[in-house]
Structure 1
């Protein structure tokens, strides 16, 4: 079977087109996550890095650089940097969320402990900054350092907003732009910057990544209430963890007094009983919350694809457009 036939999904086609570059990124990741004095660092990192994730964010960096005609070595450094930042945030997230499973496997904090997860995450952040510096670009450093700060800011904002029924859609978007979209947009932007692309193209790459990241998170929130085992999501995890995601925010905004009392009990107070998830799903359906979120995700995808049209014609550009469609195809 040919590679084109075998790789039917957009992210798989993109991975096939970037296979040589991704191999180089994986080699660099293994080299740079090594530690002479603390063997637990590569053990913990390898558990997550090698867990079979799609490597979507580093692929976006490689794709942007290649599409802009870059022929130097540093897109590999930047892709590895993006993956280290992402992995560090996952390690920290699992501690904050007290998660027991990630990508179908036990989390690092469960296999080792919270202290190891936090400290290894810190190590990966530090490693990512060393990789950034090797590019010699202050602008790249500014973009990725800024994204790291924005991610942390988004996570802290989520702490205060996640279980507060007063949280607005505007605040939700700030959280999503921080904790999810910031790394998508930085990943695509630095690919253009390292290739010395025209400013209009760099901006379009940033906007594509931002819109893709927002849609990606909205779809993730939807899958929690309407996904299947094939999507890797367990129905109701966000509800059980009392996360006030966009579907619930929309349902709360239309809730009557009785419905609002239900959300206050289950989300704000955390007093959940048998049958509450089914009640939550029925309320989301009653107020068309899932359909509305899907429609918003589609608008963000349309915006992402519009940004690609500002870039030169390229096979990679077409793959990135297909990738955007695939993000929302998971919920259609």
Structure 2
């Protein structure tokens, strides 16, 4: 199931608690994604931004700020910044991956073209930097600029590691920390920074976002092999067809015998896939308990996220973030 499918799950409670702030974020997003001279920009952006996404990352920014007692207005700017960065990366990712579905709908590159997706993504990155500059906080700009660079670095690392059977779990973790966890951790961290939280609290927010992002990505990788297309917003098995070495495959490769390794070389390294190969991949992973082992890793990272929250002030939002860490992993239970 998706995070937003069941009423009053942690994500729903978080969204309800922050509904007034989130309404202002959405207004700011619509205002800043406009373009007087290039109408395709709001067309492409609206297709993705208004497609019913969970808005989890901006919610984390709002929650981090409110949890630390912030009463100002710049958390709205930062939440919009985070969503723009996320949307820009999705537009670029779909071009790189040649994806055809995103959030259950045709991708922008399929409806328009690759050039439009790349250039609109660039525009959103530029808008995000304008928004963060308006806060006047050099530290906030440093955190979000570093996160943007780390995201790009993670995506490039994935290009070289994704189809290499020598890719280890450590390299996988480095990729995940780049392409997913970097924005989760930055989103929560800047909420604390703008609120003037203590260094210990800011570090705890960063640690929470980092661990939550890692758990979230591991679960997404597992759902690609065991979820429904509606639940994951893309076609089941896309990672396999795109020859991505995600955690369950890495674990299965590490335990492969000669025949199994030859299979992985053919379908992942050489890209020679045929009918029944996805089912065979699933059977090999089941044989070695790769899915269960990857789920155990996701549970462990959710535990790291929960532990980080103990260093933050008592607040209803803290309980919701605690439950969110559990629920992210429950999607694969």
The DSSP-based 3-state class of the residue aligned with 1:34 is coil
Matched, 1:102 2:102: yes
Matched, 1:313 2:310: no
Contact 2:101 2:235 in 1 (8 A): no
Number of equivalenced pairs: 327
Q: What are the within-5 Å matches in structure 2 for residues 144-223 of structure 1?
A: 144-223=144-223
Task: Tell me which residue corresponds to 2:323.
Answer: 322
Alpha-carbon distance change, 138 to 94 in structure 1, aligned in 2, over 3 angstroms: same
Output the CA distance in 1 between the equivalents of 2:195 and 2:203.
Answer: 13
Output the CA distance in 1 between the equivalents of 2:235 and 2:323.
Answer: 26
Output the CA distance in 2 between the equivalents of 1:7 and 1:297.
Answer: 24
Matched, 1:9 2:9: yes
Root-mean-square deviation (CA), in Å?
0.9
Q: What are the within-5 Å matches in structure 2 for residues 249-268 of structure 1?
A: 249-268=250-269
Report the alpha carbon displacement of residue 229 of structure 1 after superposing the two structures with TM.
4.0
Output the CA distance in 2 between the equivalents of 1:189 and 1:150.
Answer: 15
Output the CA distance in 2 between the equivalents of 1:319 and 1:230.
Answer: 25
The DSSP-based 3-state class of the residue aligned with 2:30 is helix
Contact 2:104 2:230 in 1 (8 A): no
The DSSP-based 3-state class of the residue aligned with 1:222 is helix
Output the CA distance in 2 between the equivalents of 1:289 and 1:154.
Answer: 23
Contact 1:219 1:297 in 2 (8 A): yes
Give 5+ residue unaligned stretches, structure 1.
1-5
Higher RCO, 1 vs 2 (CA within 8 Å, ≥6 residues apart): 2
So what's the TM-score if we normalise by structure 2?
Answer: 0.97
Contact 1:7 1:16 in 2 (8 A): no
Report the alpha carbon displacement of residue 230 of structure 1 after superposing the two structures with TM.
4.6
Task: Tell me which residue corresponds to 1:29.
Answer: 29
Task: Tell me which residue corresponds to 1:299.
Answer: 300
- After TM superposition, what 4+ stretches of structure 1 lie above 2 angstroms from structure 2? 232-235
1:9-35 C-alpha deviation (Å, 9 max, x unpaired):
110110000000000000000000001
Give 5+ residue unaligned stretches, structure 2.
1-5
